[in-house]
Structure 1
Amino acid sequence: MKAAALTEFGGPEVLTLTEVPDPEAGPGQVRVRVRAAGVQHFDTGIRTGWAPPSVDLTFPVVPGNEFAGVVDQIGDGVTDFAPGAEVLGFTTTRSYAQYVVVPADQIVNKPAAMSWEVAGGFSANGQGAHLCLSQMGVNPGDTVLINAAAGALGTFSVQLARAWGATTVIGTASERNHEYLRSIGAVPVTYGEGLVERVRALAPGGVDAAMDNAGPDALRASVELVKDINRVRTMVSDEAAEELGVPALGPSRSAGRLAELVGLYEQGLIKIHIRNSYPLAEAAEAHRDLEQGHGRGKIVLVVE
């Protein structure tokens, strides 16, 4: 099969289209013919040689941790899905390819009205937002701060906080993305020096919970703004979080969490903006696009 793979670590140019063996579904697994795969900062980390201890980086390495496609093979013991089922799901690597094999408990059914591009880029940011916001304890009536709110993760987080009843969601972004934030239900505020004062002016009653997707400075501002540090989380600033005493994120992704998010999408409470779509052969260009920063919405690969 064709895959966008690495035979060395480095810049985007090391991600090239190549042939790798077709995977086969084992017991409890499904093979999915991939139609679209989301592009994540996790994937760009893999490309440079970073990975959690549990991830095998033996070459060739195929990045990609979220996908959507059609089940075309099931292993022994799989009863919830059959060949032909349209699904979306998650893994750690291997999604930048024509086929991916995952345990059957890592996929859910794709709504008929959800496009392949949206489905392919739905799982990772959706579940990341769910993990963060649920552990922050976002409740009806809360005022919530989302740092880096215009990106794919921030977009999901703003809408999820509103879906869970937050009265006010303040989102940090560059000024060119402020109108976009208003369109998804956030009150925009500019990054940078003086952020704490600007947020306090917008929320004189205080900020109840805050999520950092921007970096250590945003995390420090969040800690200063939120009374209870247990209601602050970060997706990007682990060292600063340890220094400040911000709790680490807990459990990982699950099909149950993904199904809940798909339900919110079907109710019209979550909308995904696709910034750009690239063919699988242009995965390197998709990484360049993502690494420019300050983008709006999701980048996906379309797999033929």
Structure 2
Amino acid sequence: MMKPRNQVVQVGRFGGPDGLEVVDAPMPTPGPGEVRVRVLASGLEYTDVTIRRHLYPQTMRLRPPFVLGYDVVGEIDQLGDGVTGFRLGERVADMTVVGSNAAYRTLRAKDLTRMPTDVDPAEATTLILSWTTAYQLLHRTARVQRGQRVLVQGAAGAVGQALLTLGRMAGLELWGTARGEHAGIVRELGATPIDYQREDFTRVLPGGFDVVFDGVGEDDYRRSFAALRPGGLLCAYGYSANVQAERRLLSLLMWLVRVYVWRQVLGWLPGGKRLRLYSINLMRARHPAWFREDLERLFELLATGAIRPRVAGRISIDEVADAHRRLEAGSLAGKLVLCPDLEVPRAEAASATAPEAPLQVSRAQ
């Protein structure tokens, strides 16, 4: 029997995709309370680009080399001391922020979410960050009600598509901003498209929106705030416009501080409009049970066919640098997923028009 081999994708230096390295690594051994998993799938998200560029506040203290990989679906192949309730061969999921673009890794048992055996690991991986973010924005942060009028900024992105899909299931009336060429995506997902390059979304709906979800952060969210009705709610969860502008980390942190200060004075502004800042990691730290409950709910929807996240490509470990270039270029038909055991022909990996993934996504997370 061939001895298992561990390979990882690490950031050798901050900057462009050329700073990524595929290297051999020691096989990890689970400590007390940990399990080791053979990685079946790990997401490749635009957030990884911000981490690689040293523009992600949560990883600002990391220095190369370190392993990328925000989320993971794996099969348990070793149990550490004291682990109960899990068995060898069981499939589990976790959100790790870094470390999961690997063939094998260890995880804390208390953080794991069980995954149904009859779902595709690649599709399941797409739910961990983007779809859980969308679910919690809708049901934990905004607590939306059927019939509300909702605007999704960056509607063609991964979180945007999930917001539209889950928002439609919640009975919302939806609008979504996107480039004009992505109008079909927004319309197919049940929302009214708004070409943000040609239309003023602050004037689209007389009286304003009940809720605006904004992961773009252009103009410090001010135009999204202006699009709200009196008493409306702005949920801010990202800042992709600032990442695409390639700000340095210090200036990005100063921008986040400015947004936070702006949040403190909103309660004193006319109209009673509100702002809530959302972070999936902060939400998980405060309410760890919610993350597991919400991800399990999404896994159930996937298992029953109620949702079908788009997988644009299943990427082998040697193709991750090319995958990052595609992430930065945008216009992918769904989400890229690293499958370490897979040897994918480049022609297949490069295809962005597979029948299972007819839609495009933008650069947003």
Q: Please say whether Structure 1 and Structure 2 have the same fold, judged by a TM-score greater than 0.5.
A: yes
Structure 1 residues 82, 18: CA separation in 2 closer, same or farther (over 3 Å shift)?
same
Separation of aligned partners in 2, 1:71 and 1:226: 47
Q: 1:183 aligns with which of 188, 195, 208?
A: 188
Q: What SS is found at the alignment partner of 1:59?
A: coil
Q: What SS is found at the alignment partner of 1:256?
A: helix
Separation of aligned partners in 1, 2:309 and 2:322: 21
Per-residue CA deviation, residues 49-107 of structure 1 (Å, 9 max, x unaligned), is 24445675243210111111211112223222211012222112111000122222333
Unaligned runs of 5+ in 1: none
Q: What SS is found at the alignment partner of 1:122?
A: helix
Q: 1:234 aligns with which of 236, 244, 248?
A: 236
TM-aligned CA deviation for residue 180 of structure 1: 2.0
Per-residue CA deviation, residues 142-181 of structure 1 (Å, 9 max, x unaligned), is 1111111112111111112222332x11111122222222
1:273-284 equivalence runs, <5 A:
273-284=310-321
Q: 1:194 aligns with which of 187, 196, 199?
A: 199
Per-residue CA deviation, residues 173-206 of structure 1 (Å, 9 max, x unaligned), is 1222222222222221112353325632xxx464
Separation of aligned partners in 2, 1:225 and 1:212: 11
Instruction: Report the residue type matching 1:110 in the other structure.
Output: M
Is the 8 Å Cα contact of residues 17 and 280 (structure 1) preserved in structure 2?
A: yes
Per-residue CA deviation, residues 235-271 of structure 1 (Å, 9 max, x unaligned), is 2234563364233226433222211222233343322
The answer as to 2:158 corresponding to 1:152 is yes
Q: 2:223 aligns with which of 221, 228, 247?
A: 221
Counterpart in 2 of 1:174? 179
The answer as to 2:134 corresponding to 1:121 is no
Structure 1 residues 144, 286: CA separation in 2 closer, same or farther (over 3 Å shift)?
same
Structure 1 residues 41, 249: CA separation in 2 closer, same or farther (over 3 Å shift)?
same
Structure 1 residues 286, 132: CA separation in 2 closer, same or farther (over 3 Å shift)?
same
The answer as to 2:302 corresponding to 1:265 is yes
Instruction: Report the residue type matching 2:176 in the other structure.
Output: G
Is the 8 Å Cα contact of residues 11 and 47 (structure 1) preserved in structure 2?
A: yes
The answer as to 2:249 corresponding to 1:247 is no
Structure 1 residues 162, 76: CA separation in 2 closer, same or farther (over 3 Å shift)?
farther
Is the 8 Å Cα contact of residues 37 and 67 (structure 1) preserved in structure 2?
A: yes
Shifted more, 10-19 versus 286-295: the winner is 286-295
TM-score of the superposed pair, with normalisation by structure 1: 0.89
Is the 8 Å Cα contact of residues 51 and 59 (structure 2) preserved in structure 1?
A: no
Separation of aligned partners in 2, 1:223 and 1:73: 50
Separation of aligned partners in 1, 2:316 and 2:295: 25
Bigger-Rg structure (1/2)? 2
Instruction: Report the residue type matching 2:126 in the other structure.
Output: G
Identical pairs, percent:
31
Counterpart in 1 of 2:81? 76
Shifted more, 263-272 versus 81-90: the winner is 263-272
How big is the alpha-carbon RMSD for the aligned residues of Structure 1 and Structure 2? 2.4
Structure 1 residues 223, 41: CA separation in 2 closer, same or farther (over 3 Å shift)?
same
TM-score of the superposed pair, with normalisation by structure 2: 0.75
TM-aligned CA deviation for residue 234 of structure 1: 1.8
Is the 8 Å Cα contact of residues 12 and 285 (structure 1) preserved in structure 2?
A: yes
Q: What SS is found at the alignment partner of 1:284?
A: helix
Structure 1 residues 29, 228: CA separation in 2 closer, same or farther (over 3 Å shift)?
farther
Counterpart in 1 of 2:359? none
Q: What SS is found at the alignment partner of 1:121?
A: helix
Structure 1 residues 297, 85: CA separation in 2 closer, same or farther (over 3 Å shift)?
same
Is the 8 Å Cα contact of residues 5 and 16 (structure 1) preserved in structure 2?
A: yes
Matched residue pairs, number? 300
The answer as to 2:146 corresponding to 1:140 is yes
Structure 1 residues 96, 54: CA separation in 2 closer, same or farther (over 3 Å shift)?
closer
Is the 8 Å Cα contact of residues 67 and 119 (structure 1) preserved in structure 2?
A: no
Separation of aligned partners in 1, 2:315 and 2:202: 40
TM-aligned CA deviation for residue 217 of structure 1: 4.0
Per-residue CA deviation, residues 86-131 of structure 1 (Å, 9 max, x unaligned), is 2222112111000122222333222334212212222011222123
